[in-house]
Structure 1
Amino acid sequence: MNTQHLVFDNGSYNIKAGFVEQERPIKVQNAISKARDGHLYIGNDFQSSSSYSGLVFKRPHDQGHLVSWECEKPIWDYTMNEILNNKELDANSVHLTLTETPFQLPQLSMNTDQIVFEEFGFHSFYRCPSPSLAPWGFSDVSKVSDFALVIDSGYNATWIMPMIYQRVYWQGVKKLPIGGAVLDGLLKEMISFRHYDVSDEPSLVTTIKEKTCFLAQNFKESLQSRKSNSCEFILPDFKTTKVGYVKTKNTPVDTDAQSLKLFDERFSVPEALYHADIIFDNIASNSAPIQTASFKSLTDLVVQSIMSCPEVSRPLLSANILASGGTAKLPGFMERLRSELTKELPSDWLVQFKENGIDLEESNWFGGRALASSDIVNTVSISKKEYFEHGSNWCQKQFGFKNL
Structure 2
Amino acid sequence: MSKQHLIIDNGAYNIKAGFNQGTDSSPHKIFNAITRTKDGLIHFGNQFKSHTNNFSGIQIKRPFEQGHLTSWETEKPIWDYTFDEISSPTKEVDPSEIHLTLTETPYQLPQLSSNTDQIVFEEYGFSEYYRCTAPSLVPFSVDPAEVSPDFTLVIDAGFNSTWIMPMLYQKVHWEGVRKLPIGGSLINGLLKEVISFRHYDISADPILINTIKESTCFLATDFNEALKKKAQLGCQFVLPDFKTTTTGYVVGPDTPPLPADTQLLTLYDERFTVPESFYHPEIIFDSNGSTASNSTLQAAPFKNLTDLVVSSIMSCPEVTRPLLSANIVLVGGTTNILNFKNRLLSELRRELPSNWRVQVHEKQNGISQDERSWYGGVSLTNQDIIREITVSKKEYFEHGSNWCQNQFGFKNL
- TM-score, L = length of structure 2: 0.95
Indicate the larger mover: 21-30 or 5-14.
Answer: 21-30
**1:82 counterpart = 2:85:** yes
What are the Cα deviations for residues 88-123 of structure 1, in whole angstroms up to 9, with x where unaligned? 221111000000000000000000000000111111
State the secondary structure of the residue aligned to 1:349. coil
For 2:191, the equivalent position in structure 1 comes to 187
> Partner residue of 2:351?
344
- One-letter amino acid of the counterpart of residue 350, structure 2: K
* Percent of matched pairs sharing the same residue: 59
| Gap regions ≥5 residues in structure 2 | none
Query: 1:371 corresponds to which residue?
Result: 380
Aligned residue in 2 for 1:270: 275
1:45 maps to which residue? 47
- Structure 1 segment 170-319 matched on structure 2, within 5 A: 170-252=174-256, 253-281=258-286, 282-284=288-290, 287-319=294-326
How big is the shift at 1:139?
5.7
Deviations 1:50-90, CA, capped at 9 Å, x for gaps:
20001010000001100000000000000010001464221
Q: Does 1:113 find its partner at 2:117?
A: yes
Q: Who is 1:330 aligned against?
A: 337
Given that residues 135 and 322 in structure 1 are in contact (C-alpha distance below 8 angstroms), is that contact kept between their aligned partners in structure 2? no
Offset, 1:290: 2.4
Taking the aligned partners of 1:139 and 1:94, their CA distance within structure 2 comes to: 28
Deviation of 1:379 (Å): 1.2
Q: Secondary structure at the match of 1:150?
A: strand
Runs of 4+ more than 6 Å apart: none
Q: 1:130, 1:179 → 2: CA distance? A: 15
Q: Residue 7 of structure 1 aligns with which residue?
A: 7
The CA distance in 2 between the partners of 1:24 and 1:140, in whole Å, is 21
The separation in 1 between residues aligned to 2:72 and 2:347, in whole angstroms, is 40
Between the aligned partners of 1:196 and 1:96, the Cα distance in structure 2 is 45
TM-score under structure 1 length normalisation: 0.97
Q: Which moved more, 1:123-132 or 1:137-146?
A: 137-146
* Cα distance change on mapping 1:300 and 1:139 into 2, 3 Å: closer
- 1:177-201: CA deviations, max 9, x gaps? 0000000000000100110001111
Q: 1:390 aligns with which of 395, 399, 403?
A: 399
Q: Which amino acid aligns with 1:15?
A: I
Q: CA deviation at 1:144?
A: 4.8
Cα deviation for residue 286 of structure 1 reads 5.1
Larger deviation: 285-294 or 355-364? 285-294
Alignment CA distance shift 1:91-1:269 (3 Å)? same
Q: Secondary structure at the match of 2:165?
A: strand
8 Å contact from structure 2 (residues 172, 412) kept in 1:
no
Deviations 1:208-250 (A, max 9, x none): 0001101111000011110111111111111221111111121
Matched letter for residue 345 of structure 2? R
For 1:56, the equivalent position in structure 2 comes to 59
- The 3 A distance-change label for structure 1 pair 249 and 141 is closer
Partner deviation per Cα, 1:282-310 (whole Å, 9 max, x = no partner): 33355343233221100000000000000
Paired position in structure 2 for 1:35:
37
Shifted more, 287-296 versus 3-12: the winner is 287-296
Do the aligned residues in 2 keep the contact of 1:211 with 1:245 (CA within 8 Å)? yes
Question: What is the CA–CA distance in structure 2 between the aligned matches of 1:141 and 1:108, rounded to whole Å?
Answer: 38
- Comparing 190-199 with 237-246, greater Cα deviation is found at 237-246
Name the CA distance, whole Å, in 2 between partners of 1:142 and 1:319.
10
CA-CA distance at 1:378 after TM superposition: 1.2
